[in-house]
Amino acid sequence: MSDDSIAIIGGTGDLGYGLALRWATAGRKVFIGSRSAERASKSASEIQAAAGADSQVQGMANVDAIQNAWIVVIAVPFLAQAETLASIKEKLRTGQTVVICTVPLEVAVGGAATRTLGLWAGSASEQAARTLPDTVHVVAAFQNVSAHAVQELSGTVDCDVIVCGDEAEVRARLKPWVEAIPSCRYVDGGKLENARIVESLTAFLIGVNRRMKVPASGIRITGIGSAR
Ligand SMILES: NC(=O)c1ccc[n+]([C@@H]2O[C@H](COP(=O)([O-])OP(=O)(O)OC[C@H]3O[C@@H](n4cnc5c(N)ncnc54)[C@H](OP(=O)(O)O)[C@@H]3O)[C@@H](O)[C@H]2O)c1
């Protein structure tokens, strides 16, 4: 395992695939995880073709992908989060950072994509933290980044990435990964409990996309320095 590698559980999906594409293009080692090793390999081949022959991307089953990186991104639908975490948690290594991208949209129970569900834990990220062993670090990030924008390699991603987690040093581990995506800016989001604010912003952005007829609105926090 090296510091320039990352594993993406759900790396075959809209957001995970886009993040994998950006990081592979930036020269990072990416391990795409899937419930199906074949699906993961197919996504890895497509990303390699788009990111260039020198890019380092491999596809494999979720449990194998997590063995290759200190940072593990979880990019699965809210309804699949508990099942996905249960399937990998015994194999996670002490000290790994688990990055939760989940937004608990109401669509998961037949409601609107412009609303989030109220969860007892406070947010999908906090719920994930309760599920996972204390030996791993949990942060929340990338909830406000549009998969549409991140997949479009010819464009930049006009969005701040708020990273929440209970340890400042662990939040900072995400900074180089955020900054590897053109125009994304790292924002220190403080404790994991703030993820409930960040997650709900995504539902709001989905409404903005619909009203303004745009595919990929994002957020910027002002007053903290210019965006990259
Ligand atoms: N899409 C966005 O613009 C966006 C932006 C910010 C945050 N998010 C959040 O990021 C997460 C992933 O979003 P997404 O749009 O990338 O999701 P998606 O494309 O619907 O699914 C991502 C992957 O999750 C895996 N998965 C595992 N269990 C599943 C199940 N029971 N049903 C369906 N898929 C399952 C699938 O991979 P395998 O079948 O290969 O295992 C799938 O490719 C969500 O929590 C979402 O709220 C999304």
Show the domains of the chain with their CATH numbers: 2-212 (3.40.50.720)
Average pLDDT over residues 13-26: 98
Could you tell me if the CB of 74 is within 6 A of ligand 1?
no
Alpha carbon dihedral 106, 112, 114, 119, in 10-degree steps, equals -20
Amino acid identity of 142? F
Which three-class secondary structure state does DSSP give residue 227? coil
User: How confident is the model over 42-59, as pLDDT tens digits?
Assistant: 999 999 999 998 999 999
- pLDDT above 60 for 228: no
Could you tell me if the CB of 13 is within 6 A of ligand 1?
yes
User: How confident is the model over 169-222, as pLDDT tens digits?
Assistant: 999 999 999 999 999 999 999 999 999 999 999 999 999 999 999 999 999 999
Could you tell me if the CB of 145 is within 6 A of ligand 1?
yes
User: Which pLDDT score, from 0 to 100, does residue 226 have?
Assistant: 67
pTM for this entry: 0.97
Q: Which residues, 6 or more positions from 101, have their beta carbon under 8 angstroms from its beta carbon? A: 15, 16, 73, 74, 75, 140, 141, 142, 143
- pLDDT above 80 for 92: yes
State the closest ligand 1 atom to the C-alpha of 148, by its place in the atom list counted from 1: 3
Question: Distance from the CA of 224 to the center of ligand 1, in angstroms?
Answer: 31
Q: Which of 132, 160, 133 shows the shortest CA–CA distance to 146?
A: 160
